[in-house]
Amino acid sequence: MAPRHPTRPAMAVLAMLASAGVLRAANADETVAEHASLPPVRVLAPRDADKTERLAVPIGTGSRLGMSSMDTPASVDTLSGDTIRARGDTTVLDAVTRAAGYANNAAPGNGGTALSVRGFSGQESITTLFDGTKLFVGAGTVTFPFDTWSVDRIEVLRGPASVLNGAGGMGGVIDVIPKLPQRVRSTTLLLGVGAYGEKRVAFDTTGPIDTGHPGTPPLRYRFYLNDERSNGWMLRGESHTTAVGGALQLDATPTLRFTLSFDYARQMPMAYFGVPVRDGALSAALTRQNYNVADANIAYYDRWTRLDTRWQALPGLTVRNQLYGMLIDRHWRDAESYALQANDSVARSDYIEILHHQRQIGDRLDATLNGPIAGRQNRFVIGGEFNSVTFVDGSNTPFDGGSVVPQSGFDPGLFSSTDATRPVFRTRTSQAALFAEDRIELTDRLAWVSGLRYDHIDYRRDTFATATTAATQFKRTFANTSWRTGLVFSLTPVLTLYGQYTTGSDGVGSLISLSQASSAYALSTGHQWEAGIKQILAGGRADWTLAFYQIVKNQLLSTDPNDPTQTIQIGRQSSRGIEWTGSAKLPAGWSVDANASVLRARYDTFDETVGASSVSRAGNVPFNVPQQTANVWVNWAFTPGWNVGAGLRYVGSRYGDTANSVRIPAYLLLDASASWRVSRNLTLALYLRNLTNRTYAITSQNSGTQWLLGAPRSGGVTATVRF
């Protein structure tokens, strides 16, 4: 059921936005140095390279207004790219799951990038952005971006974000911001080796381009390359990933800038779908087994091109535009389901081959005005966005094929299915949106932040003819309005209280690959209440935040309790919780970064068919959702040029099915790193993972009867040369 009385708050927001008159933007997608040229929302603390000030840095994921976390009535964090790499986190997934509340739900079927936060999971409920732009999810899979070598920072938002990015993101948002070209020339080369045959080569270079013609506009470049490969920690666990790209930045005039970027990524991860379990118990004999076929293949290819334009039209008016295009190709060929038999053999089924091709072309234009209204400081942004997405699916549905193998020492065999792989369907999705946000200082201490977004989606699906069925076609239109309103009260310049109410929406499946049955349903809608406190301490050397929230999501697909053969849109899911984050730079070279999250996630109204009956799951915890997470990282720079660090990552127990009959154990992982700056240009580093050699399940599938395990103890060394 949609939120009650949306008209009055929305009209109030519109009236307030209209009063602003003109538009202005602070570029929240650029580096902090670029922000220094813009009129700030508020100066929270003096700049100092030795201070944390994470809460005072402008962040774009919680708002398009270029506000800091202190000025945003929401839970937003920034993960520095340098910090990510210093800890040895080479993937976006590893980095993000050190943020408060985020947990790993990765599996090959979701591209190895799925997350959970605030009681919600999956790539419809956790939105992925790249450089501020939403990546549309095809058939539940997003695979890009994955690499941290080229990352300037990763911004994370907890809570609904439909008012910023459209349908999706009921649980949260991650935005991966790449490095930009710089004015100062620098080059970095990294070589690394590690356990299980790991090898890594990475390169990054940036600087100005001398055209040889005095008076020509300044031109800067960036180019990066990262290649990693491994033999894997299990049989047939080979993997190989490559990321390459760069950017050219032209300052056409002092107020007009163009940036052309291109990124290419190829992933060939381990062809691993986990191991079977019985009665929720994992056999130690299975932990290093890989039950996939010998010629299994998983491959992802992504190409992303962007043209960013930034124009400082007037002293208070900035206009931004991003024109972008993305091409995605994916291929799976696997035996994906495994079940233990009475004689302890393993039955393999779901011999699946899938091919995806996706093209996304879009443009986002916004403008922002920063200036006073009736003597009060005001910042206002308005804009529009358009996306055209084509998605083509091919597969060997209905995925016939099966075999039985011993638990160990078996011939894995080859992929074989009587079902031919062929094109199945093609979809075309056109999405257009209008959005606006405003922040006005009602008093010297109280600010009102609000936003409004309208999305219109036209969807068409063509199913191709087969030998037994005729071609079919259907169309569907979705429309949704999301809004938010919040207050930020500054008790002092470095201590704020906030409260916010926001609405959101999720698709009942991937919006660009909906089946005809799923297209009959409306978007799931929801809302969140959140309140919290944020503080900067010790002149910027420490900070902490505390957030309380409740999210309710309505219109989930549920079995009709009166007719088990029918599915209706009556389900409801909710979560409420507390999140804490803290960071401090201490004397004698010590620093600590920590966070914790505790929540209560439940199905409030949800039924599913079991046999020929409808069974209520009300009161159960959503599957693959941990209700407690915590992280801590301690670093010690004990002498010039030397740093050591250690981190703990805790993920609470989860359930593998909606019946809550299979519990997946909690786990606690210990990681460590050490680095030695040998000279001005050379740094050696050591990275250790899972030091206690814990056996743990990252996630599960097949109603909790198949667990995907995490890597055992491992380590690696790198040599980094800068010149």
In the chain, pLDDT over 90 holds for what percent of residues?
A: 84
Query: In the sheet where 697-701 sits, what is the strand order?
Result: 275-276, 706-709, 697-701
Strands 126-130 and 172-178: parallel
Top-level class of domain 7-358+391-722: mainly beta
* Block residue for tokens 């003096």: 46
Identify the CA nearest to 119 among candidates 700, 626, 658.
626
Judging by beta carbons within 10 Å of its beta carbon (0-12, 13-18, 19+), is residue 372 exposed, middle or buried?
exposed
Of the chain, the percentage scoring pLDDT greater than 70 comes to 93
* 16 — pLDDT class (breaks 50, 70, 90): very low
The 10s digit of each residue's pLDDT in 624-664 is: 999 999 999 999 999 999 999 999 999 999 999 999 999 99
Task: Report the C-alpha gap between 533 and 216 in whole angstroms.
Answer: 49
pLDDT for residue 3: 40
Statement: residue 452 has pLDDT above 50:
yes
Residue 383, classed as helix, strand or coil, is: strand
Residue 323 has pLDDT above 50, yes or no: yes
Q: Rounded distance, CA 649 to CA 647, Å? A: 7
Distance, CA of 306 to CA of 145 (rounded, Å): 14
What is the pLDDT averaged over residues 468-478? 91
Residue with tokens 């100066």: 43
Q: What are phi and psi of 7, to 5 degrees?
A: -70, -45
> What DSSP element (H or E) covers 94?
helix 92-96
pLDDT for the residue 213 = 74
Number of Cβ within a 10 Å radius of residue 298: 24
Cα gap 89→543, rounded to integer Å: 23
Q: How confident is the model at residue 214 (pLDDT cuts 50, 70, 90)?
A: confident
Is the Cβ–Cβ distance between 296 and 415 less than 8 Å?
yes
Q: Which of 17-21, 106-110, 245-249 has the lowest mean pLDDT?
A: 17-21
The pLDDT of residue 85: 96
pLDDT value of residue 216 = 73
Residues in the chain: 723
Q: What value does the mean pLDDT take over residues 308-319?
A: 96
The radius of gyration of the chain from alpha carbons, rounded to an integer in Å, stands at: 25
Q: How would you classify residue 37: left for phi > 0, otherwise alpha for psi between -120 and 50, otherwise beta?
A: alpha
Q: Token digits for 665?
A: 């154990």
pLDDT, the chain, mean = 91
Closest by Cα among 320, 317, 291 to 306: 320
Cis before 39 (ω within 30) = no
Per-residue DSSP letter, 75: E
Check if the beta carbon of residue 276 is closer than 8 Å to that of residue 339: yes
pLDDT of residue 597: 98
**293-317 mean pLDDT:** 96
Tokens 């599913």 belong to residue: 608
* Largest Cα–Cα separation, the chain: 80
Gap between the Cα atoms of 707 and 403, Å rounded: 19
Q: What is the dihedral of CA 401, 406, 409, 414, to 10 degrees?
A: -10
The torsion region of residue 658 among left (phi > 0), alpha (psi -120 to 50) and beta comes to: alpha
β-pairing verdict for 120-121 and 115-117: antiparallel
Residue 191 has pLDDT above 90, yes or no: yes
pLDDT of residue 38: 38
30-75 pLDDT per residue, tens: 333 343 333 344 433 333 334 457 898 889 899 999 999 999 999 9
Q: Which range has the worst mean pLDDT, 107-111, 117-121, 191-195? A: 107-111
Tens-place pLDDT, residues 495-547: 999 999 999 999 888 899 999 888 889 999 999 999 999 999 999 999 999 99
* Residue 11 CA from chain centroid, whole number: 32
For position 411, what pLDDT does the model report?
Answer: 95
- Placement of tokens 């019985």 in the chain: 278
- Cβ atoms within 10 Å, residue 134: 25
Phi/psi of residue 34, each to 5°?
-65, -30
Query: How far apart are the C-alpha atoms of 235 and 410, rounded to whole Å?
Result: 11
Element (H, E) at 84: helix 81-86
Phi, psi angles (nearest 5°) of residue 322: -130, 120
Please answer whether residues 255 and 217 qualify as being in contact, where contact means their C-beta atoms are separated by less than 8 angstroms: no
pLDDT (average), residues 173-184: 96
Q: Does residue 558 surpass a pLDDT of 90?
A: yes
